[in-house]
C-alpha cells in the first residue's frame, strides 16, 4: 500500500505538478482571452466556434455522440447548444440513418460563413497569444506530448 501511494504522490510533485498547474491556468486564461476577442469583434462565441470547427474538420457533419467527444461541453450542454445553433441557422439536426435514435449534426452554409468570419479573428488571436510565442522545437514537443495524452485518454 505504501509504495503505490508514495509513487502517486511523487508523480504529482515538482515539475510535473508545476506543468499541470501551468497547463490549467494557461488554458483557462487563453480561452478567456480568445473568447473575449471573438465577442469584441461581434463574432460567434468561442463555444459555438468550437462546434463549427469540429463539424467543418469532419466533413461538415458528425453524429452528436461523436461531437460530444470533441468539444468542451457535456452531453446535455451540447444538445442545448446544437438546438440553439439550429435555431440560428448555423447547423441542422438530422436523423442518423445508421442509428434510428441518433442525431447527425450538419454544418449549414450560414454556419460555414460564420466560421470563416470568426476564424480570421480566432486564428490571429491564437498566433498572437500562443504560436508566435513558442519555438518550432517547443511546438514539436507539445504536439507529441498532447497527441500521446489524447491517445491514452481514448483508452
Mean pLDDT of 125-152: 97
Q: What span, in angstroms and rounded, lies between the C-alpha atoms of 64 and 54? A: 11
pTM surpassing 0.95?
Answer: no
Strands 99-107 and 61-63: antiparallel
- Residue 100 sits at φ, ψ, to 5 deg, of -55, -25
- Can you say whether residue 14 is alpha, beta or left, with left for phi > 0 and alpha for psi between -120 and 50 degrees? left
Q: Which three cell numbers stand for residue 22?
A: 501551468
Using DSSP's 3-state secondary structure scheme, residue 101 falls into strand
Task: Please provide the average confidence, as pLDDT, over all residues in the chain.
Answer: 93
Q: For 43-63, write each residue's pLDDT tens digit.
A: 999 999 999 999 999 999 999
Amino acid at each position: 500500500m505504501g509504495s503505490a501511494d508514495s509513487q502517486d504522490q511523487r508523480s504529482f510533485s515538482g515539475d510535473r505538478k508545476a506543468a499541470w498547474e501551468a497547463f490549467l491556468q494557461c488554458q483557462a486564461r487563453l480561452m478567456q482571452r480568445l473568447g473575449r476577442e471573438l465577442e469584441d469583434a461581434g463574432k460567434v462565441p468561442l463555444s459555438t466556434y468550437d462546434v463549427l470547427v469540429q463539424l467543418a474538420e469532419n466533413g461538415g457533419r458528425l453524429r452528436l455522440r461523436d461531437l460530444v467527444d470533441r468539444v468542451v461541453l457535456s452531453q446535455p450542454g451540447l444538445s442545448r447548444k446544437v438546438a440553439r445553433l439550429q435555431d440560428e441557422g448555423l447547423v441542422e439536426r438530422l436523423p442518423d440513418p445508421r442509428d434510428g435514435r441518433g442525431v447527425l449534426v450538419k454544418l449549414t452554409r450560414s454556419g460555414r460563413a460564420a466560421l470563416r468570419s470568426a476564424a480570421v479573428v480566432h486564428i490571429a488571436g491564437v498566433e498572437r497569444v500562443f504560436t508566435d510565442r513558442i519555438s518550432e522545437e517547443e511546438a514539436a514537443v507539445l504536439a507529441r506530448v498532447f497527441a500521446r495524452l489524447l491517445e491514452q485518454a481514448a483508452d
